[in-house]
Amino acid sequence: MKEISEWRLMNDEAHTQTIAQIQGTKTTHDCILCGQPAYCGVEDGKQECWCFELAKRDTSGLPKGQCVCRACLSGLPLLQA
C-alpha cells in the first residue's frame, strides 16, 4: 500500500527501484523458506521494510532475525493479539 500511495510522488528512479523490489529483481538475500530472491529494506540500509506495513504474522517458527519473501510471509498465519 505504501508504494501505491507514494507512487505519484516518486521520480523515475524510485519507480524502477520499487518495481525491482516487488518483482524480486533487486534482492538482499534468498528466502529461507522457499529459496527465492527476497528483499529486506533493513538489510538494504533503510530504517523500514515493506513488511512493516503488513498485518503482523506469526514468525515464531522462523530463525530469529531471518527474513522471508512476500509470498512466504503472506502464507504465515496472522499473529494472534
Position 61 pLDDT exceeds 80: yes
Percent of the chain clearing pLDDT 90 (strictly above): 23
The mean pLDDT value for 25-29 works out to 82
- Smallest CA-to-CA distance from 18 within 36, 43, 1, 34 is with 1
Q: Output the CA torsion sign for 12, 42, 73, 6.
A: negative
Average pLDDT, the chain: 85
Give the total residue count for the chain: 81
The span from the CA of 59 to the CA of 80, in Å, is: 11
The mean pLDDT value for 52-77 works out to 90
DSSP one-letter code for 42: T
pLDDT at 77: 94
Position 75 pLDDT exceeds 90: yes
Q: What are the residue ranges spanned by the domains of the chain?
A: 2-55
Position 24 pLDDT exceeds 70: no
Threshold 0.75, pTM exceeds? no
User: How many angstroms separate the Cα of 52 from the Cα of each of 35, 58, 72?
Assistant: 22, 14, 15
